[in-house]
């Protein structure tokens, strides 16, 4: 039954506790540092490597948020689309069963445009609101083949058309949305990501730091560091190939989510970085 709280359902991150990824870290920190206790967060979580599909029996709490698992089959690029649709449908059902008053459904990324109109009607029937975070220019990313990029652009347009409000974490994205989809008069709100201003208690003498340097065969203050997702648009090939032309004796330390995937093998073949012992993927 209704409890007087503002219920916010967050769809589109892989879930919390966060492992890596911008959306996952955002949701983790949003719930961790929650101040207004009149808000009840509900967070969809993807059950990975599932052989079946549907709603998992596992419901749990993390950082005060009520989390629910969605089992998703391994169906390639369409997996994220399936996940968002299943998660949003289930969230709508939870809100309906609990008789939530004016619930908010906050969808991260624009993956489900072709079905959003129908789901928006169900949300409106609950007197709820649909918020969208449009993320970046997903339709321009080099990791996607052309048909998938076309789908992303089409889906983005429909998401913008049917949402109540777009939460943009970049001023440039907000500007792009207003210009590209001006005919829909989109309502936007720019909210930047926060950051933790508390200084680390670790230093060069900390055992965990010394152990890390030893395990990775890296010397303190004797390396260049890159941290980022291992995707084509982050220009790893350019960084690696240009570094290899340098005469520096320092290491090139790369912290990323890389697994030996197609991009990794392609860059390795084209640059032969495995022959340069200065270049170190450290996990």
Q: 49 falls in which pLDDT band (50, 70, 90)?
A: low
| Mean pLDDT value of segment 160-180 | 95
Are 94 and 130 found together in one domain? yes
Residue 138 lies inside a defined structural domain of this protein: yes
Residue 174 lies in a domain: yes
Final residue in a domain of this structure, among 190, 217, 236:
190
> Are 215 and 184 members of one domain?
no
Whole-angstrom CA distances from 153 to 3, 30, 116, 138 are 39, 28, 14, 8
Same domain, yes or no: 27 and 165: yes
User: Between 146 and 70, whose confidence is greater?
Assistant: 70
Distance from C-alpha of 81 to C-alpha of 75, rounded to nearest angstrom? 10
Q: What is the pLDDT of residue 39?
A: 97
Q: What pLDDT is stored for residue 55 in this prediction?
A: 53
Q: Are residues 56 and 135 in the same domain?
A: yes
User: Are residues 101 and 183 located together in one domain of the fold?
Assistant: yes
Does the pLDDT at position 151 exceed 80?
yes
What is the share, in percent, of the chain residues with pLDDT greater than 90?
74
What confidence tens digit (pLDDT) does each residue in 82-133 have?
Answer: 999 999 999 999 999 999 999 999 999 999 999 999 999 999 999 999 999 9
| Domain identity same for 51 and 159 | yes
Provide the number of structural domains found in the chain: 2
CATH number at residue 168: 3.40.50.2000
Q: Do residue 161 and residue 226 come from a single domain?
A: no
Q: For residues 157 and 280, what is the distance between their CA atoms, to the nearest angstrom? A: 41
Candidate from 16-20, 49-53, 234-238 with smallest mean pLDDT: 49-53
- Residue 266: which pLDDT band, with cuts at 50, 70 and 90? very high
Residue 172 is predicted with a pLDDT of: 93
pLDDT of amino acid 50: 46
Query: Could you list the residue range(s) of the whole structural domain that residue 43 is in?
Result: 6-190
Q: CA 31 → CA 63, 75, 76, 213, distances in Å?
A: 6, 30, 30, 33
Q: Is the same domain home to 86 and 216?
A: no
pLDDT of residue 268: 94
pLDDT at position 43 over 70: yes
For residue 196, pLDDT beyond 60: yes
- Tell whether 27 and 156 lie within a shared domain: yes
Residues 84 and 51 both lie in one domain: yes
Q: What residues contact 205, with CB distance under 8 A and at least 6 apart? A: none
- Rounded to the nearest integer, the mean pLDDT of the chain is 90
122 and 25 co-located in one domain: yes
Q: Could you tell me if 167 and 211 lie in one domain?
A: no
* For range 251-255, the mean pLDDT: 96
Confidence (pLDDT) at 19: 81
Residue 201 within any structural domain of the chain: no
Q: Is residue 197 part of a domain?
A: no
pLDDT of residue 58: 86
Q: Is the pLDDT of residue 142 over 70?
A: no
Residue 226 lies in a domain: yes
Nearest to 163 by CA among 135, 194, 187: 187
Query: Is residue 3 scored above 50 in pLDDT?
Result: yes
Domain boundary at 161, 190, 219, which? 190
Give the domain-ending residue among 158, 190, 222: 190
Q: Which two tokens stand for residue 210?
A: 């010394």
Out of 16-25, 91-100, 180-189, which region has the weakest mean confidence (pLDDT)? Answer: 16-25
Please give the C-alpha separations between residue 101 and each of 95, 120, 190, in angstroms, as whole numbers. 8, 16, 25
């Amino acid at each position: 039954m209704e409890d007087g709280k503002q219920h916010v359902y967050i769809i589109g991150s892989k879930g919390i506790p966060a492992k890596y990824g911008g959306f996952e870290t955002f949701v983790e920190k949003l719930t961790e540092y929650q101040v207004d206790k009149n808000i009840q967060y509900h967070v969809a979580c993807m059950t990975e490597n599932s052989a079946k599909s549907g709603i998992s029996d596992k419901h749990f709490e993390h950082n005060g948020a009520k989390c629910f698992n969605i089992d998703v089959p391994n169906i390639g690029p369409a997996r994220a689309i399936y996940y968002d649709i299943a998660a949003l449908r289930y969230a709508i059902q939870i809100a309906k069963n609990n008789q939530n008053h004016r619930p908010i459904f906050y969808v991260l990324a624009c993956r489900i445009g072709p079905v959003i109109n129908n789901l928006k009607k169900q949300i409106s029937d609950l007197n709820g609101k649909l918020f969208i975070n449009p993320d970046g220019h997903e339709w321009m990313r080099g990791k996607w083949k052309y048909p998938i990029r076309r789908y992303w652009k089409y889906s983005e347009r429909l998401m913008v058309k049917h949402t109540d409000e777009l939460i943009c974490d970049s001023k440039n994205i907000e500007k792009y949305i207003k210009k590209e989809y001006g005919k829909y008069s989109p309502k936007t709100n720019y909210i930047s990501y926060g950051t933790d201003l508390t200084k680390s208690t670790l230093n060069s003498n900390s055992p965990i730091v010394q152990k890390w340097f030893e395990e990775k065969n890296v010397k303190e203050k004797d390396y260049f560091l890159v941290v980022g997702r291992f995707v084509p648009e982050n220009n790893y090939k350019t960084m690696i190939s240009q570094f290899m032309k340098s005469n520096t004796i320092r290491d090139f330390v790369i912290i990323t989510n890389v697994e030996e995937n197609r991009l990794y093998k392609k860059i390795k073949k084209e640059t032969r970085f495995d022959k340069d012992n200065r270049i170190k993927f450290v996990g």
